[in-house]
Amino acid sequence: HQLALTAAATLVAGAFVRWLLADDDDEKDDEAAHRKQAALRARAREIKAQKAMARRPKRARPTAAKRLQQNNALAVAYGGSQDAVDVAARALRAAEAAARERLDAALKVYDGLSTDAPEIEVDLAWWELMDARQRRSLGRQLADTVAKCRRALKPTIVTLSSYTNEPKAHLEAIGSAKWPVVRDARDTWKRRRERTARVVYLTPDADEALEGLEDGVTYVVAGLVDRPVRKNCTRDAANLHGCEVRRLPLREFRGAMKRRREGILNVDVVVHILLRYRDNGGDWAEALQAALPDGKATPHRLQPRRIAVVTPPRTPP
């Protein structure tokens, strides 16, 4: 009788062990199936995005006839003739060439210690907080920043700090090696310790507004594209290092900004406001009105006639 009980207990224990092992195998199979389904869904989203990009129409370069049509529209808008548009376009090109020469000359004599002009620094130390899409957006903003610096009346030195490793590789892939900027591998705080220049960190979370631009002062703009917005992160970082913080005077000049968008601004918009403030002699209202986006499409630039030497097609009688 005792042997029969022992054999029965052994059978029950074996059956229980087999049930446990079978349950573990089922869980492993379910987990593998979930992983496979997740991978398939991710691949399906990737293929869908690639097809959407393939369906997107590519922006074609305007033909000569299209440019001539735009020039004629500009002539009507300016109330002048096509010759007047040509003169204005050539004058614009000459002014931009002179501005580039002034900026190149300022970069050649820049030693990091000059006090005859303010300096603008873009802090790239926030790179790790951004995803791939935000990094691409920052690259485009920096390219627009360089374009605005090249057209400024007064040359202003722009420095890219923390220019090393991933930020350097990403920006060099879009042509930053040819940008008229200062590239520095040191971060903002190390540059601040090793230089005697006063440093002001521009952040929308600061309490005090920026009153003006002073020569010999470095104004730091965070190279950060944060969507959603990270409140107080730039201000807290500056306060942690004992750095002054200021914000652009958007609230003080809100009445002068007609239908202009404020709030969180792109890097190129902030730099454009500072450049415009220097060029117009210290008028914040005009600088904000000119630099802040208004939600309208950017108008095309003046094109001299030598680029669009085409006569409009004749209409049949």
Q: What is the pLDDT of residues 157-211, one digit of tens each?
A: 999 999 999 999 999 999 999 999 999 999 999 999 998 889 999 999 899 999 9
Share of residues in the chain with pLDDT > 90 (%): 39
Mean pLDDT over each residue of the chain, to the nearest integer: 81
Task: Please report the pLDDT score of residue 306 as a whole number.
Answer: 40
Give the three-class secondary structure for 28: helix
**CB neighbourhood size of 71 (10 A):** 21
Contact between 106 and 182 (Cβ < 8 Å): no
H/E segment holding residue 158? strand 157-161
The structure tokens listed for 276 are: 């415009």
Higher pLDDT, 84 or 224: 224
Residue 113: pLDDT band with limits 50, 70, 90: confident
N- to C-terminal Cα distance for the chain? 120
Quote the CA–CA distance of 186 and 235 in Å, as a whole number: 20
